[in-house]
Every structure is written in C-alpha cells, then in structure tokens.
Amino acid sequence: MKVCRTCGQSNRDDAVYCASCGNALASETGTREERKVVTILFCDLVEFTSRFDRADPEDVRETLATYHRRVRREIERFGGTVEKFIGDAVMAVYGAPVAHEDDARRALLSALRIPPAIEELNQTNRDLPLAVRIGVETGVAVVSVGSETSDQGIAIGDVVNTASRLQGAAPIGGILVGEGTHRLTKDLFDYEPLDSVQVKGKAAP
C-alpha cells in the first residue's frame, strides 16, 4: 500500500494520486535535487470557511472535489503539474518535472481559464457559489527530480512563497502576476499595473 505523505491515507500500490486528498503519491525511485527556473500558480477559494459555515459537510466535500477536478484539468491542459491541494488552495508547478521553453505563458493560459471554469461550475451549483483568487510567479527553485514528489514537494524556494502571497493580494476573480512572470510574458498578454503591496515575509513591496 502507498501512504499519502500529505494526509496519511492508504492507497493501492498502483495509485498515482491519493484517493482522499488528490495529492501525487511518492514513487519508490530515487530522487535528486537541482536548481531550475519554474513558474508557480496558486489558486485559492475566497472566504471559503465563512461561505460554507452552515452548509452540509457532504455537499461541501463534493463541491471541493469538483472544484479540485476543474482546476486540475485547466492546469494539466497546458502542461502544469498539480503539486498539492491544501484544503481549498491549489498549488501548481510549470517547468518541473517536465520543462518547456514557455512555462510562464502556459501558467497564465491555465490561470485565465480557471475563473470561467469556476463560473461554469457555479451555473450547475448555485447553492454553494465559488470565487477564486490566483497568483503566479516565476523564479529559481530547488526541484526534486526522479519521483512524483519529495517529502517537501516538487519545488521549494522563495518563488513558491511569493506566488502564495500574490494570490492572497489578488482581486476576487482575478490574477496577480509577479515581476518574474511579467518580464517573460509582457509582450504576450495585456497587463494592468497595480499599486505595490506589502506582503508577509518580504522586506520591500
């Protein structure tokens, strides 16, 4: 049996993803670490706890599972890898374990498709409406190579923290992109500049 390192659920030996939380299950092959440029996408539900405080737990679980499937579909459509589901948050990596020359562009194509996908979901379930915020950043990370994931995940580094903080500062239904991703994609997408924000863990805005 494979035991999920995220939630502790036991899974079949041939399982790739955890049946409980959906995270990738570690393989038994050896791993190594290397520095790579990756793009990180964080997507989180807005006010999830307060919105669903009195909802039926089974309804909430089914809504979350459907939300996870929709977001995973848009991430994998453009070559991204879902690293983890953290409650109602989703973290994806572009550039590891498989790298492309245009991973930043691919991440933004996924990001642009997620809000419409959530709107489609809301059309079929008006009792538990969802809204998301998305943050995207590109930078150097230490990446685990040779297995589905390591104890700490596929990618580790400041770029992961920054993408998470950007998600928290993004407008509802919107996408906030960091300087690294913007630099690589400014000629491909139309951007609207926002005022600088101070985020936890960063000395400068």
Note down pLDDT in tens along the chain; length 205 residues: 676 665 666 777 777 777 776 666 665 555 667 889 999 999 999 987 666 677 777 877 888 888 999 999 999 999 999 988 887 899 999 998 889 999 999 999 999 999 999 999 888 877 778 899 999 999 999 887 664 444 456 888 999 999 999 999 999 999 999 999 999 999 999 999 988 888 777 788 8
Tokens read off for 56: 């039926």
Spatial contact of 83 and 75, defined as CB atoms under 8 Å apart: no
Q: What is the structure's pLDDT at 6?
A: 59
Q: Which class does domain 31-185 fall in?
A: alpha beta
Q: What is the structure's pLDDT at 141?
A: 92
Domain boundaries, the chain: 1-26, 31-185
Distance CA 70, CA 60 (A): 15
CB within 8 A of 131, min separation 6: which ones? 45, 46, 47, 118, 172, 173
How many other CB atoms sit within 10 Å of the CB of residue 167?
24
